[in-house]
Structure formats: structure tokens, C-alpha cells
């Protein structure tokens, strides 16, 4: 072959050299895009990305990726990446002692990092997306689990073994919590509800939850032999997903009650991501490397694609700004692909119940109350006594008889005695008003008859 190239004409040699020079450039679009699966490379191709988060803050897309024992950030969709782990403690080979990190959900500029420092760990916080860092206190454990409240990034939790620590002031001060159950911690997460519900998965295949910041715990589910390992609260504050070996579960009451779901295609789930607006939209990677999705909370699944370039997917995150972009951390850097989630159904506003408006009643005009007339006091009208009938005048006879005694005038009977002074006065007045009776005329005394001679 070499002899043939040497024996070729100068023009042919120039053409062959140009093709060899341009071949990598012509192949680059195919290397950066896997047309068969829809994946597109988004940087860090030379690194193994074990964890990433695609968050948003005030409309800015922030993607963080842990790769090569360092922490990286891009704000242009993966076109350029910068390393943001400066100022952390490093080992003898200059590598940062990164133990665990997380970005605050929905507030992507806030990050927390736990860096090992001998037998202790130093907590670092950034409020500007990793451009600057504030070092907090040294903690007596080197934790591998860290969770931030989505509703308040000042609430931070770390855990390792059977030890749990919490801070409610952005990492300035910390207090230790009582551990749930008997097993060592496998994973922790914080819900989107107002209670900042804290979830802890333990090695005894149990999930515990606390609604008071870890002061007390309630067992949500126990699945012996399932090796629970992933807990993913949805943004509605009620739906929670749980993944274990040979098991997939969903709760719709913040983890108090659970429903066992069939394994997708009969395969184990290795990576899980939940849509921010529609909690029924779930993306997962199964153990054969395929990316799958469910639109009904894990009841039914459909395949989306295989891993980009045949590589294994190690982490998934839905964009916090554009729900139609799904990012994956792989053994060959960061990749992204479009997805088509349904739009959330708007919650109908309650129709106000019409209130009863009473019909105004006519207020009657008050009629004037007539002034009562003075009723005269009735006067007592005395009943007149009967006029006595006069006696007949006797006819004079010739015989002279003795003159009868003059008849006494008839006097009215005396009034009854009053029982009281009022009655006596009234009787006296009555007698004064009564007319005196007319006396009967006296009969003339006849002249004596002369004796006969």
C-alpha cells in the first residue's frame, strides 16, 4: 500500500492527504449526534459523568455535572463548560476531595458541597452557581448523602451510616437527628410539600418519612428482599416514587401508603427522573441500557431510545427551564435528547356559589298614633223616687165625729250607713240632690154638728 502511495502522482497524493485531513471533520457530526437514538453530545466527552442536575434560575438554564472528581457547569446548553470546584481541599495529586454535592431544586444558583477533610467534612455553599463559595463548619462525619428542600434552600440534610444531621440556616449551624429504624442509610430526599417531608431509605429495605424535620419518623413501607435504593418525590407535593431490586412503587399521599407497580418490560430500573410539572410523567433507564418513559405514573411504559453510542447511562435529569430536553450523564460525557411530555391540565378555579340576595321588603310608613280623646267621667244620675199618691179626701158626713189625728208626712227611708267615708259623703250628696217629698194635704176638720134641741 505504501509503495502504491509513493508511486502515485503528486496530484493524487495531494487529494489523498486532503481526504485524510478532512475525514475527522466530516465524521464529527456523526460522532456528536447519534441519529439512530436522537441523542446529541453536550460536552465533557472525555469524562465519565456520574451525576448531573439540569436546573433553572430566573430563566437561566444551569447544568451541573460531576466528572473526573470535579464539578463542572454550563449555562449555554453544553457548548462550553467551566470547572467550579476551586477553593476546596485537595489530595496530594491535586484532586478535589468532593464527597457529595447537590443544587437546590428550582433555585439552581444555590449549591451545597461536602468535601472530606481527614476524618471530618467541610460544608461549602454557593449562591451564584459555583462562581464563589462560602465555607461553613466542620462536621464530624464524611457523608455521602445530601438533600436540599425544594421550597427552602436553607433546609439541608446530610446522612451517613446511621447518623443524620440537619441545618435550617443554610449550613451555618447543624444539629444531629435521631436515626430511623435499624439499618444504615441508603438514600435521602426532601419533598415538595409545606412540611419539607424528609425521606430516608435504609438498608433494611424500608422507607421512613418525617414531617417535622427529622425529630420523629414514621415507617412508610417495608419491602423485605427488595433492596430499596431510590426515592424520588414529585413536584406536586404528594406523589413519591420508590425503586428497589425487583420492585417499583408509587405513593399518592406523601409516602404513607404505597402501590406496587409492574416492572417495566420485566427489567430492573437503574436510573429514574420525574417531570417537574406533570408527576405522572416518569423517565427511567432499565438494566439493558434502554431509556423508557411512562405517561401514567408507571402503569404502562414505552421505549424511547438506547444509550447514546451504545454507552451506559449513569444519571438523568429533566431540564428545569425546558421540559422538552432530557440530559444524561454517561461514560462518554453529557448527552441530551428531545422528549414530548404532555402539558399539565390546568386546575379549574372553583366557581363561586352565588349568595342569596334577599328581596328588599317595603318598609311601611308608620301611621300616626291618634291622640286618645279625653273620655268624660260619667256623672251619677239619681233615680227619682216615686211621688207618693195623696190619700183620698173623705166626704163630710152629718154626724160629727172626732177629728182624726193629723197624719204624719211620709218620710223617705234613711239611707244605709256607709261602710266608708267615701260612701257616707256620696250618700250625703245624694240626699241633698233629692227633692223633698210633698206632704199630703191635711183633711179639713169638720165643724161640730149642733146637738138637737
The helix/strand/coil state of 309 is helix
Edge-to-edge strand ranges of the sheet holding 333-338: 33-34, 39-41, 333-338, 325-330, 313-318
pLDDT higher than threshold 60 for residue 40: yes
- pLDDT tens sequence across 49-70: 999 999 988 888 999 999 987 9
pLDDT higher than threshold 90 for residue 449: no
pLDDT at 365: 52
pLDDT at 396: 46
- Quick one: average pLDDT of 392-398? 44
pLDDT higher than threshold 80 for residue 93: no
Contact in structure between 162 and 169 (CB atoms under 8 Å)? no
pLDDT higher than threshold 70 for residue 302: yes
- pLDDT tens sequence across 305-348: 999 988 999 999 999 899 999 999 999 999 999 999 998 887 66
Report yes or no on 317 lying in a domain: yes
The residues, ordered by sequence, that sit 6+ positions from 84 with a Cβ below 8 Å of its Cβ are 64, 71, 72, 73, 126, 129, 130, 131
pLDDT at 76: 94
Of the candidates 125, 122, 126, the one whose C-alpha atom is nearest the C-alpha of residue 138 is 122
pLDDT at 15: 56
Contact in structure between 89 and 97 (CB atoms under 8 Å)? yes
- C-alpha distances in Å from residue 222, one per residue of 226, 227, 231, 250: 9, 10, 13, 13
To which H or E segment does residue 139 belong?
A: strand 134-139
- Quick one: average pLDDT of 259-263? 96
Contact in structure between 78 and 42 (CB atoms under 8 Å)? yes
- pLDDT tens sequence across 168-192: 999 999 999 999 998 999 999 999 9
For 23-45, b/e burial (b = at least 16 CB within 10 A) is eeeeeeeeeebbeebbbbbbbbe
* Grid coordinates belonging to 4: 502504491
Report yes or no on 100 lying in a domain: no
Pairing of strands 175-177, 163-167: antiparallel
Mean pLDDT (the chain) is 80
Report yes or no on 330 lying in a domain: yes
For 254-284, b/e burial (b = at least 16 CB within 10 A) is bbeebeebebbeebbbbbbbbbbebbbbbbb
Pairwise CA distance, residues 298 & 266, whole Å: 13
pLDDT higher than threshold 60 for residue 141: yes
Report yes or no on 337 lying in a domain: yes
Number of domains making up the chain = 1
Q: What is the pTM of this model?
A: 0.70
- pLDDT tens sequence across 249-258: 999 999 999 9
- pLDDT tens sequence across 224-238: 888 999 999 999 999
Edge-to-edge strand ranges of the sheet holding 230-233: 230-233, 240-244, 247-251, 259-261
pLDDT at 370: 53
pLDDT higher than threshold 70 for residue 18: no
Report yes or no on 334 lying in a domain: yes
pLDDT at 33: 63
DSSP secondary structure of 329-361: EETTEEEEEE--PPPPPPPPPPPPPPPP-PPPP
- Quick one: average pLDDT of 187-209? 96
pLDDT at 82: 97
DSSP secondary structure of 17-65: HHHHHHHHHHHHHHHHEETTTTEEE-S-TTS-EEEEEEEEETTEEEEEE
- pLDDT tens sequence across 406-444: 444 445 455 444 444 444 555 555 555 555 554 444 444
Report yes or no on 325 lying in a domain: yes
Report yes or no on 432 lying in a domain: no
- C-alpha distances in Å from residue 264, one per residue of 49, 221, 425: 25, 21, 122
- pLDDT tens sequence across 270-298: 999 999 999 999 999 999 999 999 999 99
pLDDT at 16: 55
Report yes or no on 313 lying in a domain: yes
Owning domain of residue 291? 275-341
Amino acid at each position: 500500500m505504501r509503495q502504491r502511495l509513493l508511486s502515485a502522482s503528486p496530484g493524487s497524493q495531494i487529494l489523498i492527504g486532503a481526504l485524510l485531513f478532512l475525514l475527522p471533520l466530516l465524521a464529527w457530526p456523526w460522532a456528536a449526534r447519534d441519529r439512530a437514538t436522537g441523542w446529541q453530545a453536550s460536552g465533557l466527552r472525555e469524562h465519565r459523568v456520574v451525576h448531573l442536575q439540569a436546573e433553572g434560575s430566573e430563566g437561566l438554564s444551569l447544568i451541573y455535572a460531576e466528572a473526573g472528581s470535579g464539578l463542572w457547569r454550563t449555562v449555554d446548553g453544553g457548548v462550553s463548560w467551566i470547572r467550579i470546584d476551586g477553593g476546596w481541599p485537595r489530595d496530594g495529586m491535586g484532586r478535589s476531595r468532593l464527597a457529595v454535592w447537590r443544587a437546590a431544586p428550582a433555585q439552581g444558583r444555590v449549591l451545597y458541597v461536602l468535601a472530606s477533610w481527614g476524618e471530618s467534612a467541610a460544608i461549602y455553599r454557593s449562591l451564584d452557581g459555583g462562581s464563589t463559595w462560602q465555607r461553613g463548619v466542620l462536621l464530624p462525619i464524611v457523608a455521602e448523602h445530601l438533600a436540599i428542600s425544594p421550597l427552602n434552600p436553607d433546609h439541608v440534610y446530610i446522612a451517613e451510616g446511621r447518623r443524620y444531621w440537619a441545618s435550617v440556616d443554610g449550613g451555618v449551624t447543624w444539629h444531629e437527628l435521631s436515626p430511623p429504624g435499624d439499618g444504615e442509610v441508603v438514600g435521602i430526599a426532601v419533598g415538595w410539600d409545606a412540611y419539607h417531608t424528609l425521606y430516608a431509605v435504609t438498608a433494611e429495605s424500608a422507607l421512613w418519612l418525617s414531617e417535622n424535620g427529622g425529630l420523629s419518623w414514621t415507617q412508610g413501607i417495608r419491602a423485605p428482599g427488595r433492596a430499596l435504593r431510590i426515592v424520588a418525590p414529585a413536584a406536586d407535593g404528594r406523589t413519591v416514587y420508590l425503586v428497589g431490586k425487583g420492585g417499583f412503587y408509587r405513593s399518592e399521599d406523601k409516602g404513607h401508603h404505597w402501590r406496587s407497580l409492574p416492572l417495566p418490560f420485566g427489567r430492573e430500573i437503574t436510573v429514574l427522573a420525574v417531570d417537574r410539572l406533570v408527576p405522572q410523567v416518569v423517565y427511567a433507564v432499565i438494566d439493558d441500557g434502554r431509556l423508557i418513559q411512562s405517561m401514567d405514573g408507571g402503569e404502562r411504559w414505552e421505549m424511547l431510545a438506547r444509550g447514546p453510542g451504545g454507552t451506559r447511562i449513569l444519571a438523568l435529569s429533566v431540564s428545569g427551564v425546558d421540559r422538552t430536553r432530557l440530559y444524561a450523564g454517561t461514560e462518554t460525557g453529557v448527552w441530551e435528547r428531545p422528549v414530548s411530555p404532555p402539558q399539565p391540565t390546568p386546575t379549574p378555579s372553583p366557581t363561586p356559589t352565588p349568595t342569596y340576595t334577599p328581596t328588599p321588603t317595603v318598609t311601611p310608613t308608620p301611621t300616626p298614633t291618634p291622640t286618645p280623646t279625653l273620655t268624660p267621667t260619667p256623672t251619677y244620675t239619681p233615680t227619682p223616687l216615686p211621688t207618693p199618691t195623696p190619700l183620698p179626701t173623705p166626704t163630710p158626713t152629718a154626724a160629727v165625729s172626732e177629728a182624726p189625728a193629723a197624719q204624719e208626712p211620709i218620710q223617705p227611708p234613711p239611707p244605709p250607713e256607709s261602710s266608708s267615708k267615701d260612701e257616707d259623703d256620696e250618700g250625703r250628696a245624694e240626699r241633698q240632690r233629692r227633692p223633698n217629698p210633698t206632704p199630703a194635704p191635711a183633711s179639713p176638720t169638720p165643724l161640730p154638728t149642733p146637738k138637737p134641741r
